[in-house]
Structures are given as structure tokens and as C-alpha cells.
């Protein structure tokens, strides 16, 4: 049985293995070199894309957390018997599939899409709104749509230990709605929020499919470039180096956030 388990270390080993490959020029010859890493940091397009990814990732992660938490709250505290149906519904939206959802936004936000044509027919605008499609905005909206169900599920799972008694006790001691959020719910949800935020940030900032269909020129992300290196130019070396740098960044980000939580002593809540 334990031997069977070893089989699953293959993917982990793969990741480790290929990190040895980053220095190599793959398809051609194999001198181990740091040139790829050098390129990662010097090629200007990398910087633009990295910046884009950072911005969009942050916005999407923050929005999903900001929307996901109230939804999780509602599901846990206010929904009653509606909790299961609504939660199932939210999860069901993921069944539509990745591409379908991207496609949906393409049709909605496009120049002849639903939003623009409706606004035109209502006479509110004369020309289609340019910023709606093939822009950072469209990528952000689509990513939000993709990630929101995950965020809700993750936050809902994390909010369950909080009982209505806790909120009632807080209310009983004089805490109004705002105080209850600030003093009870947010501190208790700080760690799950951080985890969710990081998760959404990582997934959305490394996406390359959404930018491909909705990003246009200005909405491309760092993942697009990795994809190009691997699939189009066959430059495995550079692509690998870029990917490794990405991963390292994510790892550092994770530790930074966990560290911040630890400082605030909110990293681990022990429930009695």
C-alpha cells in the first residue's frame, strides 16, 4: 500500500525534476546557464505582464473575498433552509466549464454584445463602450466570475464554527452590526480570508486562457508569456525560468501573508 503511495510522488518529483532543467536550452543543447533567469528579469514585456498580473490578481482576489464573505455569512447565518439550494446553485455555476464561462463574457461584453447593444438601444450611448472588451476590465470581470464560487465555498467552510450564539453574545454586550463585523467576524475569518485571497490571486494571475480571449493587447497576463514560450516558440528554458520565478513569488507571497497573520495573532483559531 505504501508503495502505491509512492506513485503519487511522481508529480511532485516532476516539478522538482524540471527545475533542474530551467538552466538548459532545451531543444538545442544543454549547457546549464543562468541566462534564462537573467532574461526573465530584463525583458521588458515580462515586466509589463508581471505588473498587469499583479494588479488584476489583486483586484480579483480582493473583490472575490469582499463579495464571498457576505455570501458565506448569509449562507451560514441567514439562509436557513435556503442554504443548501443556494450553495448548490453557486457550485453548479462551475459546471458550465471554464471555457464556456469565458465565452459567455465574450458575448456579453463584446462590441456587439449584450451590454453594448442594450445600452445603444436604450439610447444611453452612441458607440460601443471600448473598455468593456479586450481590456484589463474584461479580464478582471471574467476572472471574478470564475473565482467567486471557489471563494464562497472556501469561506463558507471556514465560517461554520462561528455560531449565532457568538454574535448574539457580542450583540448582548453592546456591539452593533459594524462592531460585530470588526471585532468578531473579521478577526475570526482573517486566516481563511487570507488563504482564499492568496488562492484566488494565484489562480487568476496565472491564467492565460482568459487573457487570450478577453484580454486584447492590454489585458495579457504573465501566464500568457509562459504559454507562448512553451507552446509557440519552444523555448522551454526561458518558459521554465519564468514559471519558477512566478512560483517563487507566489511562495514568498504566501509566507508574507501567513507571517502578517501570525503577527496579528490571527493565524490559527482554536475552537473549544
**Could you say which residues in the range 3-62 bind other proteins, by CB under 8 A?**
4-5, 7-12, 14-15, 17-18, 21, 26
Footprint on residues 115-174 left by other proteins (CB under 8 A): 117-118, 121, 144-145, 148-149, 152, 163-174
Q: Is 1 in the site for other proteins (CB under 8 A)?
A: yes
Neighbours of 232 (CB within 10 A): 9
Q: Is 269 in the site for other proteins (CB under 8 A)?
A: yes
Q: Is 92 in the site for other proteins (CB under 8 A)?
A: yes
**CA atoms of 272 and 269, how far apart (whole Å):** 10
**Least separation, in Å, of the C-beta of 143 and other proteins?**
12
**Which of residues 39, 54, 113, 258 is near other proteins by CB under 8 A?**
113
**Which of residues 110, 192, 215, 219 is near other proteins by CB under 8 A?**
110
- Write b or e for each residue in 106-142: b if 16 or more Cβ atoms lie within 10 A of its Cβ, otherwise e: bebbbeebebbeeeeeeeeeeebbeebbbbbbbbbbb
Report yes or no: 239 and 226 within 8 Å, Cβ to Cβ. Answer: yes
**Which of residues 46, 101, 218, 228 is near other proteins by CB under 8 A?**
101
Nearest to 144 by CA among 118, 119, 109: 109
**Least separation, in Å, of the C-beta of 202 and other proteins?**
6
Those residues with Cβ within 8 angstroms of residue 86's Cβ, 6 or more apart along the chain or in another chain: 75, 79
Amino acid at each position: 500500500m505504501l508503495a502505491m503511495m509512492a506513485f503519487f510522488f511522481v508529480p511532485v518529483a516532476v516539478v522538482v525534476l524540471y527545475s533542474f532543467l530551467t538552466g538548459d536550452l532545451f531543444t538545442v543543447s544543454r549547457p546549464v546557464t543562468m541566462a534564462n533567469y537573467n532574461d526573465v528579469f530584463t525583458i521588458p514585456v515580462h515586466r509589463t505582464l508581471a505588473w498587469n498580473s499583479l494588479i488584476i490578481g489583486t483586484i480579483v482576489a480582493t473583490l472575490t473575498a469582499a463579495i464571498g464573505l457576505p455570501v458565506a455569512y448569509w449562507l451560514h447565518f441567514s439562509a436557513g433552509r435556503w442554504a443548501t439550494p443556494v450553495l448548490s446553485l453557486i457550485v453548479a455555476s462551475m459546471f458550465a466549464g471554464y471555457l464556456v464561462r469565458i465565452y459567455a463574457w465574450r458575448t456579453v461584453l463584446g462590441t456587439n454584445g449584450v451590454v453594448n447593444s442594450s445600452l445603444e438601444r436604450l439610447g444611453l450611448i452612441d458607440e460601443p463602450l471600448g473598455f468593456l472588451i479586450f481590456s484589463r476590465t474584461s479580464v478582471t470581470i471574467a476572472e471574478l466570475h470564475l473565482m467567486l464560487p471557489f471563494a464562497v465555498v472556501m469561506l463558507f467552510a471556514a465560517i461554520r464554527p462561528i455560531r449565532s450564539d457568538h454574535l448574539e453574545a457580542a450583540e448582548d454586550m453592546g456591539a452593533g452590526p459594524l462592531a460585530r463585523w470588526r471585532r468578531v467576524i473579521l478577526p475570526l475569518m482573517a486566516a481563511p480570508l487570507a488563504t482564499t485571497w492568496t488562492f484566488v490571486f494565484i489562480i487568476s494571475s496565472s491564467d492565460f486562457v482568459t487573457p487570450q480571449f478577453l484580454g486584447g493587447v492590454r489585458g495579457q497576463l504573465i501566464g500568457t508569456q509562459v504559454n507562448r514560450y512553451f507552446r509557440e516558440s519552444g523555448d522551454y528554458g526561458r518558459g521554465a525560468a519564468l514559471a519558477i520565478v512566478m512560483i517563487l513569488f507566489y511562495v514568498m507571497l504566501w509566507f508574507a501573508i501567513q507571517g502578517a497573520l501570525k503577527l496579528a495573532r490571527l493565524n490559527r483559531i482554536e475552537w473549544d
